[in-house]
């Protein structure tokens, strides 16, 4: 069975109780999400298991508590990488 590429975009802000699914797509739609993320320098992580879990969530819905820790670790990592990039 051929697996189609999937992508999920999350949105989080301090004013929100948890990250939510902003967009998702499979196949060419996943490719387009990745292209847009790269164009806008939005961090990307290739986590198949996390993507599969988040792909089941409806757009606009908060992520499930079962992935809070994983997503929090990614947000901290991306934040630190961004801080180092901004310092020069």
Beta bridge partners, 8, equal: 24
pLDDT attached to residue 83? 59
Domains, the chain, in order of start with CATH, read: 6-87 (3.40.1690.10)
- Nearest-5° Cα angle at 50, 46 to 53: 140
Own/partner pairs for 52-57, CB < 8 Å, 24+ apart?
A: 52/6, 54/8, 54/10, 54/21, 54/24, 55/6, 55/8, 55/24, 55/26, 57/8, 57/21
Q: What is the pTM of this model?
A: 0.82
pLDDT tens track, the chain, 88 positions? 556 899 999 999 889 999 999 999 999 999 999 999 999 988 888 888 999 999 999 999 999 999 999 998 988 887 876 655 555 5
């Amino acid at each position: 069975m051929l697996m189609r590429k999937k992508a999920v975009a999350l949105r989080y802000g301090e004013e929100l109780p948890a990250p939510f699914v902003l967009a998702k797509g499979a196949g060419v739609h996943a490719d387009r999400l990745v292209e847009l993320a790269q164009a806008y320098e939005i961090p990307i992580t290739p986590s198949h298991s996390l993507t599969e879990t988040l792909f089941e969530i409806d757009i606009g819905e908060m992520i499930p508590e079962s992935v809070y820790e994983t997503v929090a670790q990614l947000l901290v990592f991306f934040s630190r990488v961004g801080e180092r990039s901004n310092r020069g």
